[in-house]
A = this chain, B = another copy of it.
């Protein structure tokens, strides 16, 4: 299979892009190679598609189900009650809805942590995008529970190949306050042995840090270093509450950090992500949406705007986190964090490409692509999406869209009905 994109704006110049298989084979002013299909780039800009560094895809099912509540009520009375009723089928339908939303907003890769790994993996395989998927690992410091979780993960590891090469198996220790030291150590070892990524929520709230100090006498990052957990394969999500020593430890071990500005603001974590301090230290910072219970969408362009404006507001400085850096967080930095040969449109890279429709009022007059994307546009500006050399959306149409929406809707309302019954 080959595709040629004719006359598209790439880095400010009109170019042709030739894709063979799943690779960008050639970029030039004019390419006359015969291709199986041809896409007009007229009035469009080609950008690397987005990399969503942290989400819980199937939580689309709970979008808008419980907002504006106190955190503990929200978790105990709503989220956990609904999650207790979820089946692998629910996860499949929810993750498929998430994939559809991501495709429609220009994202071709997401880093996931949730229940029923296979449900999400099936959805990703079918929908044509990429994901690093972890099963949530929570043992609540209970040995039996830990053993059960380890077995689940070893089994999933063995079966991971059944879901194609766009699905990557990763380990997902939920957080240091829900997973025992023994289990964290087991995961660090297992990941090193098998070359796996580890996806963890880390230093999201002040309470997490204070509890850690009270219990162990040291801060979360110090604790994880002490037990040999940190490494370049660790994806630390949130990382809001960090002191200087912790930032240096993250850099020393080349830990990758994912910022989720909308979730941090909506869940009122109380601090701004230390973007400048992490950047100065040279830590790789990528961008995530978090799940739809705390955002409530998967639109990476919206997350760029929130990321940039939160920093400007917090630091009282209009120059912090400029548009281009926000864009890089969502593309090149994400690719670096997850070891993906994409995040830039260049010869030899994976053909993961979004075409932005420049014929939109909010992108007019169009002085600067990055300003327009980060500050003015949203996911609806994406007209065409290519992942792994296949066109997943053309003219904003995705195959089977109505059916995916209808099945997700039915599944979500049925889930909430069961949750309400179980809750008396």
A322–B379 Cα gap in the complex (Å)?
24
Check if A376 sits within 8 Å of B64, measured CB to CB: yes
A318 at the A/B interface (Cβ < 8 Å)? Answer: yes
A218 CB within 8 Å of chain B: no
Which residues in chain A, 52-110, are within 8 Å of chain B measured between CB atoms? 60-61, 63-65, 67-71, 74, 97, 100-101, 104-105
A265 to B314, CA, bound (A): 8
Q: Which B residues are CB-close (under 8 A) to A380? A: 378, 380
Contacts of A297 in B (CB 8 A): 362, 375-377
Decide if B313 touches A67 in the complex (CB within 8 Å): no
Query: Given known contacts A63-B376, A302-B378, A361-B405, what 19 new A-B pairs fall within 8 Å (CB)?
Result: A63-B362, A63-B367, A64-B371, A64-B372, A64-B375, A64-B376, A68-B322, A68-B323, A70-B318, A101-B361, A105-B362, A265-B309, A266-B309, A268-B316, A296-B372, A297-B362, A302-B302, A360-B405, A365-B413
B63→A365 contact, CB < 8 A:
yes
A349 located at the interface, meaning its Cβ lies under 8 Å from any Cβ of chain B in the complex? no
| 9 closest residue pairs by CB, A with B | A365-B412, A380-B380, A68-B322, A101-B361, A64-B371, A265-B309, A265-B313, A296-B376, A296-B375
CB A370 to nearest CB in B, in angstroms, measures 9
CA distance A411 to B61 in the complex (A): 46
Does A134 touch B at the CB level, under 8 Å? no
29 residue pairs from A and B, CB less than 8 Å apart: A63-B362, A63-B365, A64-B365, A64-B366, A64-B371, A64-B372, A65-B368, A67-B322, A67-B371, A74-B318, A262-B309, A266-B309, A266-B375, A268-B313, A268-B316, A268-B318, A270-B313, A296-B372, A297-B377, A299-B362, A299-B378, A302-B302, A302-B378, A306-B306, A310-B313, A359-B405, A365-B409, A366-B409, A367-B412
Which residues from 383 to 405 on chain A have a C-beta closer than 8 Å to any C-beta of chain B? 401-402, 404-405
Docked complex Cα distance between A371 and B63 (Å):
9
Given contacts A63-B372, A318-B71, contact A416 B367 (CB under 8 A): yes
Q: How far is the CB of A137 from chain B (nearest CB, A)?
A: 26
Nearest chain B CB to A73 CB, angstrom units: 9
Interfacial chain B residues near A104, Cβ < 8 Å: 361
* B313 close to A264 (CB less than 8 A): yes
Does B268 lie within 8 Å of A315, measured CB to CB?
Answer: yes
Quick one: copies of this chain in the complex? 2
Residues of B within 8 A of A295 (CB): 375-376
A187 to B401, alpha carbons, bound, how many Å? 56
Q: Would you call A248 an interface residue if the criterion is a C-beta within 8 Å of the partner chain's C-beta atoms?
A: no
Within 8 Å of chain B (Cβ to Cβ): is A317? yes
Bound complex: CA A340 to CA B367 (Å): 36
* List of B residues within 8 angstroms of A69 by Cβ: 318-319
Within the complex, which residue of B68, B306, B319, B323 is in contact with A318, where a contact is CB–CB below 8 Å? B68
- Complex alpha-carbon distance, A86 and B305, angstroms: 29
Residue of B nearest to A373 (CB): B64
Interface size class of A (residues with CB under 8 A): 35 or more
A315 CB to nearest chain B CB (Å): 7
Chain B residue at minimal CB-CB distance from A74? B318
C-alpha gap A67/B374 in the complex (Å): 11
Which chain B residues border A322 with CB–CB below 8 Å? 67-68
Alpha-carbon distance A379/B377, docked complex (angstroms)? 10
Q: How far is the CA of A306 from the CA of B60 in the complex (A)?
A: 21
CB pair A268 B97 closer than 8 Å: no
A313 to B378, CA, bound (A): 22
When each residue 290-307 of chain A gets 1 if its CB lies under 8 Å from chain B and 0 otherwise, what string results? 001001111100100110
Residue of B nearest to A325 (CB): B68
A366 CB contacts on chain B under 8 angstroms: 64, 409
Kindly state whether residue A267 has any CB partner on chain B within 8 Å: yes
Bound: A306/B321 CA distance, A = 17
By a CB distance below 8 angstroms, the chain B residues around A416 are: 367
Measured in the bound complex, the distance between the Cα atoms of B309 and A379 in whole Å is 19
Cα A10 to Cα B242 with chains together (Å) = 47
Q: Determine the chain B residues whose CB is within 8 A of the CB of A65 once the complex forms.
A: 367-368
